[in-house]
Amino acid sequence: MKVLVCVKQTFDTEAKIELKDGKISDAGINLIINPYDEVAVEGGIQLKEKGIAKEVVILSAGSDKAMDAIRTALAMGADRGILVKQDTAADEYARATALAAAIKEENPDIILAGHVAADDGSSQVPTRIAEILGLPHVNVITAIEIAGGKATCTCEADGGTSVIEVNIPAVISSQVSWNEPRYPSMKGIMAAKKKPVATKDAAAVANKVNIIEFALPAAKQAGVKIEDDPDVCAAKLAEWMKNVVKVEVK
């Protein structure tokens, strides 16, 4: 069985966002694998360690910089990579189209990805890939079992937890609570340098969503800060909650 994991390179979640010339500035920003995708990589590697998957392929669409994200995933234990070179301004439709084209050539049994990217927060790409490929999908999984040509997934759902079964091949997207991604070992990092990564160019596809402008939200102003005895602090905070916020107490 072949597992393919889609990864996106994103800003570190601790990054402060600033604008330069009307665009989001990437100056001095640490780039990482989208944390939701990193969990998908770990999930794929665990399927291999359990003997369910024979091969774990990493796929990323983006600029040349995305090679670092692929190498990190290979250092964690994936087998080989594919980088589809694409303008980073590609929207979810264009991105899914490019990824789906590469996936089709690979013909994997399971396609994993994070359910959302920590940067644009779109949560569309895995589901769009499934539709393009005509495959079932399951989103936001926290556990998976694969047996008898089916994937049984535990998912975070609105108002609870659901258990959903689909036939494979399928596209499955991960929630961050699925697992704890490993840190690449020094041995893994050395081995990753020798693992093959194919590169190709994405076919040109027009975006369906066009960005008009970026803005930063109005900075929240700090209000009152009290440093005093706990009973004074508590009394004043209670007064504010009752008189300003007008909370209801049960």
Smallest separation, CB 4 to another protein (Å): 19
Sorted by sequence, the CB contacts under 8 Å of residue 60 that are 6+ apart come out as: 6, 7, 8, 9, 66, 69, 70, 81, 82, 83, 84
Which residue number, 192 or 202, has a Cβ lying nearer to another protein?
202
Q: Is 187 helix (H, G, I), strand (E, B) or coil?
A: helix
Smallest separation, CB 190 to another protein (Å): 29
Smallest separation, CB 16 to another protein (Å): 6
Q: Measure CA of the first residue to CA of the last residue in the chain; give whole Å.
A: 56
Which residue number, 73 or 192, has a Cβ lying nearer to another protein?
73
What CA dihedral angle connects 100, 102, 104 and 110, to 10 degrees?
-80
Pairing of β 80-85 and β 197-201 = parallel
Which residue number, 186 or 219, has a Cβ lying nearer to another protein?
219
Residue 203 Cα to chain centre, angstroms:
23
Pairwise CA distance, residues 124 & 56, whole Å: 23
Smallest separation, CB 194 to another protein (Å): 32
Which residue number, 21 or 186, has a Cβ lying nearer to another protein?
21
Smallest separation, CB 138 to another protein (Å): 6
Which residue number, 47 or 129, has a Cβ lying nearer to another protein?
129
